[in-house]
Structure 1
Amino acid sequence: MTTPVASAVNPGKTLGIVGLVLSIVSLQPFGIIVSIIGLVKSKKAGLGNGFALAGIIISVVGIIVVGIVIAVAVSAGVNLAAFCTEHGAGVFDNNGVTVTCGA
């Protein structure tokens, strides 16, 4: 008769899952921190943690995407402000795009 082998308890698994969920629901800064903590705890126990690794990857990608979106939005805002400063108040056509500049 064989005795079942007890599986090792992964101390970082729950943190890895929480970090992954946080990274998916657009809380990437928190997701990356929790995922890193979970991965470190798992590695100290000599175990892997795919959930934590996925949380780290998704968080990093999300942070990069948010950074790009912010950069594009700021650039567009600066260009719009420069256009309105140059042309003054009114409604203008700028290469097929209607631009309304306030007073």
Structure 2
Amino acid sequence: MSDSNLNPQPLPPQQQPQYSQPGAPAQPGWNVLAIVAFIATFFISILGIILGFVALSQIKRTGEQGRGLALAAVIIGFIALALGIIFSIIIFAAIASSGIQYQTS
């Protein structure tokens, strides 16, 4: 009786499952309203201010990226609005003073 399995080959060692480090949580995307507010603030500053505040509120609630853009939209919007008001006052004052000088001469 010839038994060919007298010298069995050792079984390969059981491999333990490899556990990897959990990946970093997926970064939430950019808040679209923050991007729109930043672009809109260069054309219509009041719209940029409003959209910037709404975007900041959404970012605070959802944790999306874009807080800097929304903040920049609000700041740039307020600066542009203030400069527009100042220039309007200067222009109206110049027109009024030139009208007064025209009538007296």
Structure 2-normalised TM-score? 0.72
Asked if 1:5 is matched to 2:50, the reply is no
Greater Rg by CA: 2
What secondary structure, in the 3-state scheme, does the structure 2 residue paired with 1:65 have? helix
Runs of 4+ in 1 over 3 A off after TM superposition: none
Q: Which residue number corresponds to residue 67 of structure 1? A: 85
Q: 1:2 is paired with a residue of what secondary structure?
A: coil
- SS of the equivalent of 1:19 reads helix
**TM-score, normalised by the number of residues in structure 1:** 0.74
Deviation per residue, 1:56-75 (Å, 9 max, x gap): 00000000000011000000
- Aligned-residue sequence identity (percent) comes to 20
- Indicate conservation of the 8 Å contact 1:31/1:55, yes or no: yes
In structure 1, the residue matched to 2:74 is 56
Unaligned runs of 5+ in 1: 88-103
Contact 1:13/1:51 (8 A) holds in 2 = no
Q: Which structure features the higher share of strand residues?
A: 1
Q: Look up the equivalent residue of 1:6 and give its one-letter code.
A: P
Structure 2 unaligned blocks of 5 or more: 1-19
Alignment deviations for residues 62-90 of structure 1 (CA, whole Å, 9 cap, x no partner): 00000011000000000000000101xxx
Asked if the contact 1:19/1:32 (under 8 Å) is kept, the reply is yes
Q: CA deviation digits over 1:6-42, x for unaligned, max 9?
A: 23425x7211111011112x21011111111000111
CA RMSD for the aligned pairs?
A: 1.8
Distance 2:41 2:21 in 1: 42
CA–CA separation in structure 2 for the residues paired with 1:56 and 1:7: 28
